[in-house]
Amino acid sequence: MLITSLSAFSQGIEESFLFANSLYENQQYQNAVETYKRVLFFDSDDIYGPQSYKKMADCLYETGEFAEASYYYDLAYFTHSGTEQADITLQKISCHLLLREYNLAQVELFNLPDSLKENQTEQKVFYEAMLAFATEDFEMAEELFKDIAPDTLAVHELFRENDKINKLSPKKAKILSIILPGLGQFYAGDVKNGLNSLLLTGGLLYLGAASAVKTSILDASISVLPWFQRYYSGGYNKAEAIAEAKIKERRFKVFNELLDEVEN
């Protein structure tokens, strides 16, 4: 009876494993990974783990769980060999890039073997280009993107646009707004916030001057100065933040256009 029970239990695990594979093949990734996890939980002899890790990692990758996907790619790496290991490493690199774990991505790039299939080499160069751009090594990024994009002239023009972004300085935006409220926002290209800062601080200065004429400079300072200081300091700090946001926004646009060039 004990043997019969163990046999039935083993069949239950096997059926669950086959069901997980079916879910995986039908791209029902969330359900598949949960089923694989149940299989591993009851698989005390680790029979199905080596067959499951890669598929679990793929499921997690497809559902945006990149950190957990990386963990299972690590496990899968040691259950595969040859070119399959290189494929798994490339997937791990993708996870690290998406998680902005650039140092880990670089380590995995170093772990790739010298001998790769053509498609793996292209993928490696693509990830190297992404990593160089993300870490602001734009000279290297340009060389790498030109290696893999069919239109090198378009890549050249995009990096010249990126050079213009490099000239935008958050510190300069802050200093300009210290000199004249709103000027830093104008410099960063945010006219709306620039006008708002200029009108607010200008209005408070006018109100303070009018109050000083009607009452006294001391009374005007007590009533208006705290508000002026608040909006004045807030304005130049905001100018710096706006410039930083503009740099990221424009850089992201250039990066997406570079990806489009690679995909063409």
What does 214-247 look like in DSSP terms, one character per residue? HS-HHHHHHHHHHHHHHHHHHHHHHHHHHHHHHH
The pLDDT of residue 8 is 39
72 within 8 A of 58, measured Cβ to Cβ: no
Burial string for 201-211 (b: 16+ CB within 10 Å, else e) reads: beebeeebeeb
Question: 13-70 pLDDT, tens per residue?
Answer: 899 999 999 999 999 999 999 999 999 999 888 899 999 999 999 999 999 999 999 9
Structure token digits, residue 125? 């160069």
Q: pLDDT tens track of the chain, all 264 residues?
A: 433 333 434 458 899 999 999 999 999 999 999 999 999 999 888 899 999 999 999 999 999 999 999 999 999 999 998 899 999 999 999 999 999 999 999 999 999 998 899 999 999 999 999 999 999 999 999 999 999 999 999 999 999 999 999 888 888 888 888 888 888 888 888 788 778 777 777 776 656 676 666 676 665 566 556 666 776 677 778 888 888 989 999 999 999 999 999 987
131 within 8 A of 165, measured Cβ to Cβ: no
The pLDDT of residue 86 is 96
The pLDDT of residue 211 is 64
Kindly report the pTM of this predicted structure.
0.78
The pLDDT of residue 1 is 41
The pLDDT of residue 11 is 54
* Share of the chain residues as helix, strand and coil, in percent rounded to the nearest 5: 85, 0, 15
The pLDDT of residue 183 is 82
- Supply φ then ψ for residue 128, to 5 degrees: -65, -40
Instruction: Quote the CA–CA distance of 207 and 212 in Å, as a whole number.
Output: 9
Instruction: Quote the CA–CA distance of 194 and 144 in Å, as a whole number.
Output: 39
Question: 212-230 pLDDT, tens per residue?
Answer: 666 766 655 665 566 667 7
Instruction: Quote the CA–CA distance of 55 and 45 in Å, as a whole number.
Output: 19
73 within 8 A of 85, measured Cβ to Cβ: no
- Helix or strand (DSSP H, E) at 35: helix 29-42
Burial string for 28-55 (b: 16+ CB within 10 Å, else e) reads: ebeebbebbeebbeebeeeebbeebbbb
- Supply φ then ψ for residue 101, to 5 degrees: -95, 75
* Spatial CA neighbour of 58 closest among 41, 45, 75: 75
- Supply φ then ψ for residue 149, to 5 degrees: -95, 135
- Supply φ then ψ for residue 181, to 5 degrees: -50, 130
23 within 8 A of 32, measured Cβ to Cβ: yes
